[in-house]
Amino acid sequence: MPSAMLTHAENTQTHALRSVAAVVDLVEEEALTNALPCRQNPADLWFAELPDEVEVAKSLCGPCPVREACLASALERGEPWGVWGGQLLVQGTVVPRKRPRGRPRKQEVAA
């Protein structure tokens, strides 16, 4: 009977250690998530209207450790717009840069 109790005690300890490990993993994951540029900067930046602000958001994504997964996930979900994984999406497609609002000039302006 003592060996059965030991086995139960070992199982309980193993379960407790797994629970602690799960909590540690969750805390580490949360710390990583909070360290991401999109968590440290205003959300509006990733959906900015001004081209300069969009470029700032794209540059902040550069060193992000989940940049590629972020972009892949956004494309898979068909995100309609915003900066995802360092790329600008417009109507679910990656575009090189955001154009300012309004119509483009028909003729070049003399400098």
* DSSP-derived secondary structure for 11-75: HHHHHHHHHHHHHHHHHHHHHHHHHSHHHHS-GGGGG-SSHHHHHHHHHHHTT-TTHHHHHHHHH
Sign of CA dihedral 33, 70, 78, 93: positive
- Please tell me the predicted confidence (pLDDT) of residue 96: 74
Q: Residues in the chain, how many?
A: 111
- Please tell me the predicted confidence (pLDDT) of residue 6: 54
Does this model's pTM top 0.75? no
Sheet holding 81-84, edge to edge: 81-84, 87-90, 93-95
pLDDT digits (tens, 9 = 90+) for 47-92: 998 999 999 999 999 998 889 999 999 999 899 999 999 999 998 8
How far, CA to CA in Å, does 110 sit from each of 20, 78, 104, 105, 107? 69, 42, 15, 12, 9
